[in-house]
Amino acid sequence: MRQHVNPLSKVFNNVEPLPPLKDIFNDYNKPLHLDIGCGSGSFLINLANHNKNWNYIGLEIREKLVNKSKSKLKDESIDNLFFAFGNAEYLIEDCIGKFPANKVSSVSFNFPDPWFKKKHHKRRIIRPQLIHKISQLMANGGYISIKSDVEELFEYMDMTIIGSNLFSTHIYQDSEIFNSYNPMHFKTNRENYVIRNKLTVFERLYKKNLK
């Protein structure tokens, strides 16, 4: 069951900025992956534990889940993962110009809230404004990955990303997989649930267009 949080609420207008990367990670020169809507953080903890060649940041608008994620980190020896609470659009906007250029190599959206009612579509996480800001923050040739078990939402996200003219659909080559943020193809709890129940996972990868 999803805990619905309206991202457009004025409660989220003010965010606590992310610290400089050098204050977050022991080695901030590693490529950086952002997971937007990271939930309770289990997926990222798994990634960070098994892929020390990358740094990871999870952004989540539900504060209780961020606190839960941070408490998990206390029990793990992980120095390449950080969790932040707030509206992702505002957090990313604050990072533009603050993070080193060409540092953010990839961004993922895993099974975001579909907000089924048409009047609530404006609450969906993937919007033109956010895609534009991600493009500003992201390294040339960086990637966006999306996954959903809701076909209508998947089509909406795909249309929004392609419609920005900032990203193009991309097919991974084998050599790229081993250098990606998730070379072992770990899955989120939601994706495992969808697969167990023999439902469809809609997914697509996009590459940032060169200017």
Name the residues annotated as catalytic: 113
Q: In whole angstroms, what is the distance from residue 87 CA to residue 95 CA?
A: 13
Q: Is the dihedral of CA 129, 130, 132, 136 positive or negative?
A: positive
Q: What is the DSSP string of 146-200?
A: EEES-HHHHHHHHHHHHHTTSEEE----HHHHTTSS-TT----HHHHHHHHTT--
By the 8 A CB rule, do 130 and 88 touch? yes
Phi, psi for 136 (deg, rounded to 5): -65, -35
- Alpha-carbon separation of residue 170 from 107, 196, 208 (angstroms): 14, 27, 9
Q: What is the DSSP string of 67-119?
A: HHHHHHHHTS--SSEEEEES-HHHHHHHHTTTSPTT-EEEEEEES-----SGG
